[in-house]
Amino acid sequence: MIILQKLISFKANQFLQNNHDDLYRVATTEIGLLNGASLASRLIVEMAICECSDKGGRTPSKMDVQELQSLALSLHLLGGVSEAINFDAIAPKLVISHFGDVLFEHDFEDLIVSKYQFGLHKEKFDNSAKNYEKEFSRRTERVTGQDVENAFEDDFWTAWIAEFGFTPNQGIDFINAIQEIGYAQNKLVFTLNEKELTSLTAGLSKDIIDKIIECLSLKSRKEWTDIPRPFKSSDWQPWRFKRRYSLAYKPIISLSESDTYVISPEHIKRAFSHLLRNSHEATIDENHFQSKEMISWNGSQKAMTGLQFNTQVANSFDAEDWHTEEEIKLSKILNKKLKDFGDIDVLAWHKTKNIVLAIECKNLEMAVSQSDIARQLYEFKGNINPKGKSDRLHKHILRVNELKRDISGLAKYVEKSAENIQVIGMLVFSSLVPMHFVNDAANDIVFTDVNKLPNEILLL
């Protein structure tokens, strides 16, 4: 809530500050501190419900909590460092100082991670400022069940029910019933036993309530790392992002041994909204799901989003100056049989200049954690892995090289002279990515984003 308020108030701060660069830096630092405190607190809760005894013990002081937060963030940081080492982003060398500090090469953090994350925050602030007036013009009438149902496609509605066993409306009714209890008790956080929770007067059957609780509950276990099926070790590891078995996705804390549920209505509402939105927009990996219907929805949405981005890239070229084609095979361009190199997402050629662009379009999921950033960089190095499989850049390098090997065939297709024709391989991203902070090009493939097309091409 505090983070949201800071984002909303950013435009007001822009009018109060002359130095906007300083404003971005200060705001980014403040948001970072709040995010760190929030992450550390969630990790402590996730560990505590497994490792702490239900009885006895002592109430931690503020200093105790602060120390636990520091240790939890250390787990997050060092786990990310380990992942970054595995992905060749950090040199595999650690030094333990005389004071017990773990020292490692900081180039990755200083030159890539911090700059990339600052850029992400800047984009969020700019979008918040742009949409400032909308925050004061939201609809005030209560949303009906029909409104919710109309907001989603029938295929998604069916997939959601197949995956979770209840409708989004039923989940909302459950949350509303929990909020009423919070209002009645005048508490932001409270506890209920199983009987109290399953007998909520929300017009829902016990079977539906049980399914909602199962979906949203993070259960205590004998060991923090002992995770139930179908979850994987990556779902508890604190350096991972979008962990399925975390408070971010399972906001109801279930203390099974004492028949107690810890309830925060606001946290449950936000987590449920997060799950619903990310499931609908397919920004969660398909491994998150079990049902074939939701896996199919996830795949179809990602494919549709990819095709829409291809069209966006093609449309960014002025039709008066450029010809463009989408989803085109090399065999069609070169008019001969070839092995399957995959499609060129967008082929663009200038009407008067001897420039041909072979564009690969990437609408990537946002990399947030250190390990995710390192993984994306690793996937776009233009290499072949030890198993002989091309990474996500190398595939496009092969396509561009094939075009360059048959300039005459390409020239004939685009109706240009083969002399002095310039073939440029490009990787166009839909938003800010870590690769922007490494090089502008790799293996002669130019990295850019859709907002810089096509002007940047003419400057090459």
Is the domain of 211 the same as that of 182? yes
Domain with 241, as residue range(s), is 147-295
Query: Which tens digits make up the pLDDT trace of 93-129?
Result: 999 999 888 889 889 999 999 999 888 888 888 777 7
Is the domain of 23 the same as that of 87? yes
Task: Quote the pLDDT of residue 344.
Answer: 94
Is the domain of 114 the same as that of 152? no
Is the pLDDT assigned to residue 326 strictly greater than 80?
Answer: yes
Closest CA to 334 of 312, 355, 353, 358: 358
Closest CA to 276 of 184, 399, 149: 149
- The answer to the question of residue 401 being in a domain is yes
Is the domain of 181 the same as that of 75? no
Tokens of 6: 């800071």
Is the pLDDT assigned to residue 460 strictly greater than 70?
Answer: no
Is the domain of 117 the same as that of 21? yes
pLDDT band (50, 70, 90) for residue 408: very high
The domain spanning residue 403 has which CATH number?
Answer: 3.40.1350
Last residue of a domain, one of 77, 101, 136: 136
Residues 262-268 have a mean pLDDT of 94
Is the domain of 291 the same as that of 349? no
Is the pLDDT assigned to residue 455 strictly greater than 80?
Answer: no
Is the domain of 123 the same as that of 157? no
Q: Whole-angstrom Cα distance, residue 173 to residue 209? A: 10
Task: Quote the pLDDT of residue 126.
Answer: 79
Is the domain of 66 the same as that of 8? yes
Q: Whole-angstrom Cα distance, residue 103 to residue 101? A: 6
pLDDT band (50, 70, 90) for residue 339: confident
Q: Is 95 helix (H, G, I), strand (E, B) or coil?
A: strand
- The answer to the question of residue 38 being in a domain is yes
Strand residues in 279-431 grouped as ranges (E):
322-328, 344-350, 355-362, 422-429
Is the pLDDT assigned to residue 1 strictly greater than 50?
Answer: no
Is the pLDDT assigned to residue 378 strictly greater than 50?
Answer: yes
Q: Whole-angstrom Cα distance, residue 407 to residue 104? A: 47
What 8-state DSSP symbol labels residue 103?
A: E
Tokens of 116: 């990339």
- The answer to the question of residue 301 being in a domain is no
Residue 178 CA: distances (Å) to CA of 173, 174, 209: 9, 6, 12
Q: How many domains, the chain?
A: 3
Is the domain of 153 the same as that of 256? yes
pLDDT band (50, 70, 90) for residue 409: very high
- The answer to the question of residue 354 being in a domain is yes
**Residue length of the chain:** 460
Q: Is 449 helix (H, G, I), strand (E, B) or coil?
A: strand
Residues 339-359 have a mean pLDDT of 92
Q: Residue 446: beta bridge partners?
A: 426, 441
- The answer to the question of residue 36 being in a domain is yes
Last residue of a domain, one of 260, 295, 330: 295
Q: Whole-angstrom Cα distance, residue 252 to residue 264? A: 7
More confident of the two residues 227 and 2? 227
pLDDT band (50, 70, 90) for residue 228: confident
Lowest-confidence pick of 7-16, 206-215, 239-248, 304-313 = 7-16
Q: Is 60 helix (H, G, I), strand (E, B) or coil?
A: coil
Residue 71: count of CB within 10 angstroms of its CB: 14
Q: Estimate to the nearest angstrom the gap between the alpha carbon of 131 and the chain centroid.
A: 21
- The answer to the question of residue 141 being in a domain is no
Q: Whole-angstrom Cα distance, residue 338 to residue 27? A: 53
Task: Quote the pLDDT of residue 301.
Answer: 94
Is the pLDDT assigned to residue 320 strictly greater than 90?
Answer: no
Q: Which helix (H) or strand (E) holds 161?
A: helix 154-164
Is the domain of 117 the same as that of 63? yes
- The answer to the question of residue 142 being in a domain is no
Residues 144-164 have a mean pLDDT of 87
Residue 116 CA: distances (Å) to CA of 250, 371, 431, 460: 29, 13, 11, 24
Phi/psi of residue 261, each to 5°?
A: -115, 130
Is the domain of 358 the same as that of 436? yes
Residues 133-138 have a mean pLDDT of 64
Task: Quote the pLDDT of residue 436.
Answer: 87
More confident of the two residues 31 and 252? 252
Q: Whole-angstrom Cα distance, residue 460 to residue 457? A: 5
Task: Quote the pLDDT of residue 82.
Answer: 93
Mean pLDDT of the chain: 87
Last residue of a domain, one of 136, 157, 189: 136
Is the pLDDT assigned to residue 2 strictly greater than 50?
Answer: no
Q: Residue 441: beta bridge partners?
A: 446
Residues 87-91 have a mean pLDDT of 92
pLDDT band (50, 70, 90) for residue 402: very high
- The answer to the question of residue 151 being in a domain is yes
Is the domain of 151 the same as that of 113? no
